[in-house]
Chain A
Amino acid sequence: QVQLVQSGSELKKPGASVKVSCKASGYTFTSYAMNWVRQAPGQGLEWMGWINTNTGNPTYAQGFTGRFVFSLDTSVSTAYLQISSLKAEDTAVYYCAREGVWGQGTLVTVSS
């Protein structure tokens, strides 16, 4: 069946970096763009941007430029979200999502 499986929870210190993975299965990876969505604790959903899985070209929403990088490894049908210079306010659940299918979410906690 079609699924997106994300990497596990992360606990990081301020200033560190984190890389979240999203492995796709059950469909042709390059047939659908991959979106990334953030949900801070107790808050709503924020669309972070998307990456074209054919070209690797990313598009970032306002507020997600500079420290946020989307990338791919099409050989293993996996998308990545890397966040650098982590801040406490980056604490959130991060979801990958393609049309109609979401990953289970990855909790990133930033705390000293």
Chain B
Amino acid sequence: DIQMTQSPSSLSASVGDRVTITCQASQDISNYLNWYQQKPGKAPKLLIYDASNLETGVPSRFSGSGSGTDFTFTISSLQPEDIATYYCQQYDNLPVFGGGTKVEIK
């Protein structure tokens, strides 16, 4: 089974900061990777699909990159409404989520 290692598990940053989250797959998954945002008490929301494609309606400060085994999710300028937990998910094989990254405001 493919394993997804996401880091860090949590981070604290200031409004306006650039935030980066990484996700590493245990084997090549091409670009079959989603990034989700989950706010407390809410369902996850798809932000990025196919590793780097922004879902319709998602602000452009969110971006994704990578292919193969190493992927990066970036918030270019952190906003208060971005406080959430972010998850990567591979779908090259049976889907697997990363462990999540909780983003907080410093």
State the A residues within 8 Å of B (CB): 35, 37, 44-47, 50, 59, 61-62, 95, 97, 100, 102-105
Query: Which residues 27-84 of B sit at the A interface, judged by CB distance below 8 A?
Result: 36, 38, 43-46, 49, 55
B97 in complex: contacting residue of A46, A102, A103, A105, CB < 8 Å: A46
Q: Which residues from B are CB-within-8-Å of A105?
A: 43
State the B residues within 8 Å of A (CB): 1, 36, 38, 43-46, 49, 55, 85, 87, 89, 94-100
Q: Which residues from B are CB-within-8-Å of A61?
A: 94
B87 pairs with A45, CB closer than 8 A: yes
Given contacts A45-B87, A95-B43, A105-B43, contact A59 B97 (CB under 8 A): no
Given contacts A45-B100, A100-B55, contact A62 B1 (CB under 8 A): yes
A15 CA to B76 CA, complexed, in Å: 49
Q: Which residues from B are CB-within-8-Å of A47?
A: 89, 94-97
* A35, closest chain B residue (CB): B95
A13 CA to B44 CA, complexed, in Å: 28
A47: min CB distance to chain B, Å = 4
A101 CA to B18 CA, complexed, in Å: 28
B94 pairs with A59, CB closer than 8 A: yes
Q: Which residues from B are CB-within-8-Å of A50?
A: 95
